[in-house]
Structure 1
Amino acid sequence: MAQLYFYYSAMNAGKSTHLLQSAYNYRERGMRCVLFTAALDDRFGQGKIASRLGIHADAELFTSDTNMLDQINSSHHAEKLDCVLVDESQFLTKAQVKQLTDVVDTLGIPVLAYGIRTDFQGETFSGSAALLAWADKLIELKTICHCGKKANFVVRLDENGKAIKDGAQVDVGGNEKYESMCRKHFKELVWQ
């Protein structure tokens, strides 16, 4: 039975690595899967999912205008799909998450979505909020704060390493711009 899975964490917990391993496992068994990633995140090239461990794969792009159900249905009709994997799923719209529930419930294709839960101010992204509400399975991937505790927040840093408290919700970047922290250290830097 197909289900919608949401694998979530702070940054640097291995979400992309896990996604790429899942895709490999499907393909190793002769199954077909399609990978999606957000068009706005081109740090590794357009249409690329890359792990810090050095593994990568090509992916279809989605924007806020992409109809996920139509695109997946079209691909499925061309050649049977066994799984859909979505990286950077926090950037999905609420409507797109509903479309992914239709992929599961109508087409019978499992969907594995990977993303961060909250932004640099501790607020949920709309895609993450919808996935937290509607996914069949929620799986937390863990990473650690510099103090050794579980990190569940992300701090945005300026060029001097100081916490940024205001700004646009989306500002794509990696370790040069963000650091995962536990709630205590996040609060000390952002909510104080």
Structure 2
Amino acid sequence: MFAGKTEELLRRVRRAQIAGRRVEVVHHALDDRRGEGIVSSHSGLDIPSRAATSATEILDLIDPAVELVAVDEAQFFGPDLLDVVQHAADTGLVMIVAGLDVTFDGRPFEPIPALGALAERTDRLTAVCTVCGEDAPFHERVVVGRGDDGRGDALAAGAEHVGGVESYQARCRVHFSAARWRVGAGGSGVTTR
């Protein structure tokens, strides 16, 4: 979060449009923070978008003349997105996918890691740690979520996972306190430098 993923997605979409390519932008219906039918970055850039409730619905939304599909907040589509993206790419459709690759508790947020393994190109963007200013590949939930432990299930897509600065903060590895929640961490956390 806060790494500029959506902003980079929008930059690539606008570049494709300038080049005369037919483009469609899709986001998950869970994310309506900035209104319906729009994808926007934290910096205020925006573009019209179509909402889908499932990965399989994405291709149904796309006009056959479209040459490039951009998918924002892709982590909410779950593992079915992998087959959809592979099918689209195999038929010549260019897919640009933006999403979180790690949950707030430090687990891989599928399907993003799997998509990265199959992509022709990947760019991993990082935010800036809100504690020390270092690169921040993690994000920590700072409000209570669902579940007995107050964190909810980080891998189950739900409206409680859609949020911004009011709910999450960017963290470097040193300041990522969620490491103590991981199985086998023994409460000691993980630090590497």
TM-score (norm 2): 0.80
Does residue 93 of the first structure (1) align with residue 78 of the second (2)? Answer: yes
What's the counterpart of residue 101 of structure 2? 117
Aligned partners of 2:54 and 2:7: how far apart in 1? 24
Which has the bigger relative contact order, CA under 8 A and spacing at least 6? 1
The aligned amino acid for 1:62 is A
Query: CA deviation digits over 1:74-128, x for unaligned, max 9?
Result: x12xxx222111100111222222111111112x121110011111111122222
Aligned partners of 1:131 and 1:105: how far apart in 2? 14
What's the counterpart of residue 183 of structure 2? none
Uncovered stretches (5+) of structure 1, i.e. residues with no partner = 1-10
Uncovered stretches (5+) of structure 2, i.e. residues with no partner = 181-186, 188-193
Aligned partners of 2:42 and 2:61: how far apart in 1? 29
Q: Aligned match of 1:84 in 66, 69, 72?
A: 69
Q: CA deviation at 1:180?
A: 0.9
How many pairs are equivalent?
Answer: 171
C-alpha contact 2:26 2:58 (8 A) present in aligned 1: no
Does residue 48 of the first structure (1) align with residue 38 of the second (2)? Answer: yes
C-alpha contact 1:121 1:165 (8 A) present in aligned 2: no
What's the counterpart of residue 102 of structure 1? 87
| 1:154 aligned counterpart, secondary structure | strand
Q: CA deviation at 1:19?
A: 1.2
The aligned amino acid for 1:113 is V
The aligned amino acid for 2:17 is R
* Structure showing the higher strand proportion among its residues: 1
Question: Are the structure 2 counterparts of residues 36 and 114 from structure 1 closer, same or farther at C-alpha, using a change threshold of 3 Å?
Answer: same
Aligned partners of 1:137 and 1:20: how far apart in 2? 17
Let me know the Cα RMSD of the aligned residues.
Answer: 1.9
The aligned amino acid for 1:37 is H
Question: Are the structure 2 counterparts of residues 109 and 65 from structure 1 closer, same or farther at C-alpha, using a change threshold of 3 Å?
Answer: closer
TM-score (norm 1): 0.81
Does residue 167 of the first structure (1) align with residue 152 of the second (2)? Answer: yes
Q: Which moved more, 1:24-33 or 1:173-182?
A: 24-33
What's the counterpart of residue 17 of structure 1? 7
Does residue 154 of the first structure (1) align with residue 154 of the second (2)? Answer: no
What's the counterpart of residue 116 of structure 2? 132
C-alpha contact 1:165 1:190 (8 A) present in aligned 2: no
| 2:36 aligned counterpart, secondary structure | coil
